[in-house]
Structures are given as structure tokens and as C-alpha cells.
Structure 1
Amino acid sequence: MLPYSVPYQDFAFEHAIMGMAIVSMEGEVLQVNAALCELLGCSKQEVMDGTFRALNDGGILEVIRQKAADGRLEPSPMTALHVDVKYEHPEGRNLHLKLHFSASAEAPAPIRHCLVQFEDLTPVYELEEQLVQKEMKLSEREDGFLELLEELPLSAFITKNGIVQYVNQATLRLLHASDAADVIGISTDVVVDPSSHHKLARRRTRYAKYREIGPVTYLINCFDGQQKIVSGFTLITTYQGEKAALSIFKDITEQKMEEDRIMQSEKLTTAGQLAAGIAHEIRNPLTSINGFIKLLRTSEKSNKLYFDIIESELKRIELIVNELLVLSKPEIAHVSKPLDVLDIIEQIVTLMKVQAAMNNIEIIPRYPAEPVYVHGETNQLKQVFINLLKNAMEAMDQGGTITLSIHQSDSDVRIIVQDDGIGMTPEQIKSLGQPFYTTKDSGTGLGYMITKNIVHNHGGSIDVKSSPERGTSFTIQLPVL
């Protein structure tokens, strides 16, 4: 039995899950429980004979005796003396133990023995060591990663909550900054021009909702007042143990300027071609008009044929000008809305049937049973189908058939206008869409150009297939609503 104990205390001591021992003030181990023997890897006798003395390095019991003599060693575990010791287990591993010394609750004064409780902190120390090792590895990895970023020719910077935490040398060159300290700590709202702030907000919202950021192009402000255009992407990473955003950007200012120059050059070239075509197309009827006016001046009587020719040439000039006006209309002038393509085409076929019958042409419709909806503008789409049907009819001077088919899939609708006309060569197909290029005697070449622009403005495409003497097929593809 324990000194000064009762039977239930013997039972609680022996079956406690924490290792415990009763030790006299002289260092003699009076009793140990099974949990302590299991913890230390020794038998009861081995613990009582010498193991505890090995744990008494540094004169722990001397301190205990002094505290007991001063009345400062109490039965409560809250006021116990705590000592950390290392113990080499017989199996060769080291244990980190915390020893709690407290007076026995039943011991009379003066205190001659105390209760020692052994708390095994080895898992805690091992976990701490693993965390330290992991932090060291992460630190080494982060250092290597930052070294890689320093060598990167592209601009790289790391931000947390929109505040710059790190920049590489390429970023300093991009921003014309002399030192990293000038950039670190500032908000990305300062670097990104206010005209691009909506892109910043949109990216933050996208990440908050979908955990995606995606590529982006910004206008940025450099430290010397210059402005540049940059394009890049952002990845979520870890920096100094916290979640951060790594952004990689490339300066595309020169590239954009070159693209603008090329686009401007193309516009000027197109404008030049258009101007040359207009000059050529209008000069011919004007020459005719001028010649017939001179004849009328010298003629003694009015000649109806001259007036008819002048009127015809003036109408041709009016046709050219009207088609140029349609071509120059702003794309945003119309208001798009959901439309039933089937309904529009039925109206156009009804409108064109009379003209087709007069030219011995039959229009054969092949429609689906259900409506086909797209997003667009009614009058512009009507103009597209009128132009295609007129072209088809004008290509068949001996009559024939025009097949008008509609095919719908989950993503798009295809409207096919197939004629039995004279067809076109590959060279002619390639030239379609050029200003004033036409295969018809009285055409201007602007009709197809207008048709193509309208289709593209509706998010669609147009494809042409043709063979000489075998007819032509125009396929319009539009996104389904």
C-alpha cells in the first residue's frame, strides 16, 4: 500500500493512464505504477533501483526538499513543481518528459515523500521538430523559387490582398523604379491605371466566386510618368507562409503600337481601294452623262433616248452611294433582340417569289417544324437573305431552282442558299468581298461586302462553295439563342 493511503487510492494509483511514482525526500522510489514502467520501458524493480536516479540529474530532489521545507510544495497539481527532462529509452529513442512534483495529499508535515507524475511530451516535440524541418524546407524552396523569379526576363510580383510584397528585377525595369523598396507595400490600384481598375475588380470577383483569375491586359503607370500596356496571368501560391497571388506580366506596348500601325495601314489601304473603286464606278456614268448633255446642247430637238440614258446612269450613281451608306452605318445603330429566323426567311421568300416566277425560278424551302431563335436585328438579317436570293436569281438567266435549307444544332443554326446558276471559279470566290468586285454585268460588289459585315456583326460566319456551271452554295452560320 501507498504510505498514508486508503485502498481506493492504491487502485487509482496503480491503474492510472499517466505514469506516476511516490518518491521520498531522500530520493528513494517507494512505489511506481504500471503506466510508468511501460513509459520508461523498465520493470518496477529497475525503476525503483536506479532509473529514477537517472532522471534526477541536476538535483531535482534537492529543490523539492527545499520547497517542502519552506512549505511551498502543496498537494494540488496546479501548484506542483514542473521539470522538463530528457530520457533515453532502452529501445534507443529519446523521450521528452515533464515531471510534476506535488506533496502527497495524505502526507503529514513535515513532508517526507512526494507524488511524481510523468507527462510524455515526445509527440509534441516530434511534431514541433517536423514543423521546423518543414518550414526550413519551405524556406529553402521559397528562396530557390525567388531566385528563379529574379532570373526571369518577364515581370513578376507577389501580392497579398492587393498589396505588393515582392518584385523581381524585371518589374523594376518595367516600372522604371530604382529600388524594390519603392514598390513593395503599395497597392496594385496605384500601379494599374484607373482606366483598367474595372478589370482588377472583375478579376477579384471572379476569384471570389469561381477560384479562377485568368489572363488580363492592363494599362499601367510607371514611376517616371510613362504609361505601358502589359499582358499576363496570375497564379495563387504561398509566400512567407500565407496565401498570395503571383503575377507574371509582359510589356506589350510596342506590340500593341505595331498592331495599331498595321491596322491603321490596312484601313488606309482599304480606304484607298474603296476610293479608287468609287472614283472608277462613278466616273463612267458621269462621263456618259457629260457626253449626252453636250449632245443635247448641240441638238436642235429633244432626244428621249439621251434622257433615258442620263436617268439610268444617275440611278446607277444613286445605287452606289446608297450601298456605300449602308456599308458605313455604325454597327451599334441597331438593337438586337430574340428573333425567329424561320419567320424572317418565310417573309423574304414570299416577297421574292413573284420576281423568281417571272424569271422561271422556283424557290424550294426546307425548314424545320419548330421555330429557330437567334439574337439579332430584323431588318439587317432580312437584307442578308434578300441579297443572297437576288444573287442566286441573277446567276440563273435560264431559270432553275433555289433550295433554301435551315439546319439547327445545339449551338448554331445554318441557313444554306443553293442555286443552279453559272457558278464561280476558285479565283472568283477568293475575290468576293473586295470593294466593287462583281461577277455580274450591273453589280457593284458591295452587296456581298454588306452581307458579310452584317453576319459577322451577329457573331456568325459565311461560307461559299461553288463550281463553274454547277451552281453556288452560300452557308450562313449564326449562334442559336
Structure 2
Amino acid sequence: MAIDNLINHPLFLLSFHHSPAGMALAAASGRLLAANKALCQILGYSESEFVGQMIDDLCHPDSLENKRKFWDELNLLSSESTSRQMEFDWRHREGYAVPLRITASKYVSEETGTEAWFILYLTQPGGDSRNHDERQGNDTALGTSPIIPVQEQKCPQLYELIAVHSHDIISYCDPEGIILYTSPAIHRLLGYHEEELIGRNSAELIHPEDFQQIQSKHMDGYTDDCIHICRVLHKKGNYIWMENSVKLIKDENGQISNIMTVGRDITTRKQAEEELLKSEEKYRRLIEEMPEALLIQQDGKWVCVNEMAVRLLGAANRGELLNKPVHDFIDPDVLQAASSLTETLSNDDFVTTFKGKFITVQGEPVEVEFSAVPTWYEGHYAVRIIAKDISEARKAQELLQNSEKLSLVGQLAAGIAHELRNPLTAVKGFIQLLKSGAADKQQYYDIISSEINRIEQILGEMLILAKPRAVQYLPVDIHRLLEHVTTLVESQAIMNSIEIVKECEQSLPFIDGDENQLKQVFINVMKNAVEAMPHGGIITVRANKLEEDRIVVRVIDQGSGIPADQLERIGHPFFTTKEHGTGLGMMVSFQIIERHGGHVSISSEVGKGTTVEIVLPVFANNSL
């Protein structure tokens, strides 16, 4: 058989190219005639780059002398019943050394009786070569190995050389499936000796369920090459998962004469696949049972969404979202923020919370709060987003805030009524004086006008507080804001013998905020200070520039103070230190300041008083 015909023979192609170990066919000169895929992967070359190369050119320079000695010994082998083994470094396509253990067996042409080729079996040191070592009964040291006998021929000689050194089971059957030959790997993988299986039908070793599937598959039509995954009976009685590459050998009439099979143990792989399926099922259930929407975006498109995400975005099913551009579901107002979010995530940074609007399939905006984290999805970079609809929560928060405002108005009403009564009494008295014809009418007019202005100011502040308007972040003058708040609280303070002292730094920059909401905060804080001082005293309100971009307002009272164990609970819903309080006022105040980009801190000492410190950012353009 000519070498080209031999290389292209179906038996050679099946047993040679399906081997998981590196294999090559070389001429006696050291020129490579063929290389399998495994060797190509180990050394980084393509098959076409291997063919025609001299082994010297592929051998690492440091190992070249050992390789030449090894090759000379191979050429001196007098028969095909011997093989030799050695370990030396090969040169990877990228230039670095790859240590490989090489086992070489000789094949002599039946036609000429002199032309020889070598089957090279290459494995990386530490790899599984038990099928070779166990047959020999000893460990082979580095260097040339003892002579290794080859079995009697039961199939063509060259294929036997390949089969002896293969990690896979190579079997040769007649058309009825009767085993004519099986390679030594059968003992390592399935526990049988070759002679135990010769003459048996291979179907006896296949799990009945899998055999039925194989039969039904072949009923649809035979193909010369196919792959079956099935369970094969081990000698101990358990089943091993095998992947079998089957090649039908046909005679000159096109009839099946033999069946060649290369079987590989994939039990570990199947177990891993089953564990992966279980894990995926758990993960899928976890995703579906989440109370929040989960979306995974990859390359600007949604690639995974759960049922809550379908509901959030108003879709009828997942198909309306999957593979759709993410930007179709982001409100234009937050596209710029979304771009900076993407840049942050591309640097593997986490975004804990982000608020904005998504757009439903129907085009309606929905307010969401979501977290985003970089992840991998099906082997590629992606971003996992967990979002929740905060539209209802926002409405509830606004209702709570408005309720708290009305509560403040009601509580202030008594003090303000007293405050209004004083100027009204003065106005009434001076009107009576005017009626009596008293002199110095101009002075009376000025006093009446002043008292009326005071009444208007008080009523105006109450109307602003009681009638909420849309939130608008504008430059706010902190001096003016604190003056207005003091006007509202001062009447209640006077009734409790309390003096409010303002110590504000001159020329403070404007702050960036909603004036109505900030008034609510400071009224709450100052009213709490008044209620903490039933026996009178002084409340000090200080405003100072903290840094270039922040100011701090401190409200300091001389009340009874707050115990340390209660201090950390201030701001929690329904926690209060007052007999008839709700605990909602400070909670709302904390939220307002947080939305303004500021923060609130409270310090207190029992018996001496409490200090509430509010830090707020200044308006970006303070040239106003």
C-alpha cells in the first residue's frame, strides 16, 4: 500500500485523527507526513504547516542533540515489534519550548520490505499515559526506553501501532456488530481484557435505552461517519458514558464489510454537564422568582430578561424585548447619564443605585431605581441590571411628605394664631384712636401698615408650605430662607420663652435646591428644638461656608438632650422621642436633604442640648 493511500485510508483517518493525544506519521528521514488535530493544538501549527517539515526544525534547539540520538536509534530498529520512548522539548509556533514525551513505533512497507515510517505518539509530561505504562508494568525513565513488544496482528499493521498507543478504545467489528478486535485501552476504561470481548456482539455492552436510540437513528438512513453518545457497560456492572466515532468500511460493491469505532470516556464531562444543567435550572428559577426585574444587556441589546422585566416594560412576552436595542427603553433625558454609567461599568466598577426612567413597549415612561454590575453571559462581557418600579413608592412618598407638611401647618396654627392676634389687636386699637381724632395720625398709619405687612408675611409663608408645587431645583438664598422659617417658628418660641438667635456668615453662596422642601426641613428641625425646651432658653442658628462647594447650617438648642441609644434611631419611620410625635418628620427631612446631595448629622448630650448639622451643596453658578 502506497503511503498516500495509507494516510487517506478510512481506518487511518478515524484512529489517527480522533486520538486525544498528539500523533504524527514521519518518514525515516524525519520528514513529517501527517499530524493530527491534537498535536496541532499542542504546538500551535496547522496541519498543512506540519506536513513536509523536518522534525529537526520543530525540535527546540536545546533538545536537538538528544532528538538526533533518539532518531538514529529508531532507524536502527530491526523489526516492527519494537518501539522507543524519550522526552525532549519541541518548539511551539510562538517560539517557546513545549516538553513532550514521544513514543515511536516502526512500520515497514509490505510492498518494498525496506521503506520505513514511524508512528509518533506525543503526550505532555504528567499527562495520562497509563494505557502505555500499565501494559509495561514499570515506569519509563527519561531517555530511551526498554523495548516494548507489540501485539500480534488482528487488524492492519499500521492501525495496530496506532491502536496500541491510543488513550481511546479502538474497535473493529463485522457488519453484525461482532467484535473482531479492540485496543488495549479497553482494559483501562472498561475493565475487560481484549480476549473477553472478541466474538461478542458490541450491542451487549450498550445500555438498552441508548441502543434503541441508536437503532432508530440508523433507521432514518445510514451514513458512513457518525457519532453516538451512549452508556457502555463496565466489567464491574456500572455504566460509563462514551462518545463513539463510527466509520463504516465498505467493499468494492458498496456493502458494509466492517465497522470501525473510536470510543472516548466522557463520564466526567457528562457529570459536569448534568451539574451545569442543575445549576442552570436553579439559576433560572432564582431569576424567575425574583421580585425585581432582571435584565442582562450585551453589546447594546437585551439578551436575557425575567418575567418581572417583561411586566415592568409592558411587554406581552420576552420576544418583544430580547435582542432589542437597550436605548429604545431608556428615556432621552437620562441617555447621557446612561452613557457615563456604561463607561463606569466598562472599568469593572459597580454602580450601587441609579434612578431614572425606562420606556415601556407602549412608549410610556416608568420611574425605576436599579443597580448595575459587570458580568459574563455565555462567555462574553455583559451588564446585569436589577430594577424595580418606584412610581408607586414615589407617589406614596409624596403623599407622606404632603401629609407631614399639613401636620406641621396644623401644629404651627396655634402659635401663629397667637402671633396674628397681637398685630390685629394693635391695628384695631390704632383704628379706634384714629376715629377719636387723636393727633400724630401718620405715626399710627405707619404702625398699622407694619403690622399688616407682618400678617401678610406670616400668611404667605403658611400658604407656600401648605400648597405643594412641583419640585424645582433653583438657586436659594440661605439667609432669606432662614429668615422666613424663623418668622414661622418664632411665635411658638415666644410662647415658650425661647429666643432664636441667628449667626450667619455674610455673603454666603446660594445653595442648589427646592426652597419649599428646604423650608419644611428647617421648620421641622427648629420646631423640634422649641419643643425640646419647655422651660425656655436660646436656640442658635448658625450658617457658615464649609468648603468651596458646600455650606453647613447648625441648629443648636439647650434642651434635655437625647440618649446615645436613641440617637442612631432618629430618622427611622415611627421612631420619636416626643409623647405625641409620629417619627415621620425627621424621616422626611433626611430624605429631602439626601435628594439635595447633602447629609444630616445629629449630636447630643443629655442635660445640655442637641445640635443638628445640615450640609448642602452650593449652586454651581454662584455669580448670581
Instruction: Please report the TM-score for the alignment, with normalisation by the length of structure 2.
Output: 0.40
**Bigger CA radius of gyration:** 1
Instruction: Please report the TM-score for the alignment, with normalisation by the length of structure 1.
Output: 0.50
The structure in which a higher percent of residues are helix is 1
